Amino acid sequence: MRVGSRLVSPELGTGGPEYSFGRPYGGILDPERGTWSDLPNVEGLGGEFGTGVLTRARLVGGLPSQLVLDMSRGDWIRVPRIWRTRDLRQGLTAVNTRRKLLLFGGARWNRTHPEGELLNHAWLWTPPSD
């Protein structure tokens, strides 16, 4: 994602055995200065995945229970968990509207619905302001 003159890739991970990167996947590129910088540390946040970038004007990406890189603060914030249960859920639609994240629909599978159940729920998240 472009943030001012920088390009930001908010991907986290350490490159386990299937990859041997040995460092986070993403980072911040400043083409004007010709520099690359690492993402802020996520230690203590319990985050394995960065899924979005937040600026003063807009949010790009974001998924429930995952981290979003807040470029204004230079730190990570967590998108809240929206489901009380740990059912398998897939196929929801995620839409960013300026600084908000709208999630809708999808399907879930659990003991009560082993065949699956289509969902018509909608959820809107507004990140904390600066």
Two tokens, residue 38: 């690492």
Residue-level pLDDT at 70: 93
Two tokens, residue 70: 């807040």
Q: Residue 30 forms beta bridges with which residues? A: 35
Answer yes or no: is 98 within a domain.
yes
Answer yes or no: is 130 within a domain.
no
pTM above 0.85, yes or no: no
> How many independent structural domains does the chain possess?
1
Given a contact cutoff of 8 angstroms between Cβ atoms, the answer to whether 12 and 26 are in contact is yes
Residue-level pLDDT at 20: 45
CA distance 76 to 69: 5
- Biggest distance spanned by C-alpha atoms of the chain: 56
Residue-level pLDDT at 14: 54
Structural domain containing residue 86 = 2-125
Per-residue pLDDT of the chain (130 residues; tens, 9 = 90+): 888 889 998 877 655 555 544 455 788 999 999 999 888 877 767 656 778 899 989 999 988 888 899 999 988 998 988 877 777 788 889 999 999 999 999 998 888 888 988 999 899 999 988 6
Answer yes or no: is 48 within a domain.
yes
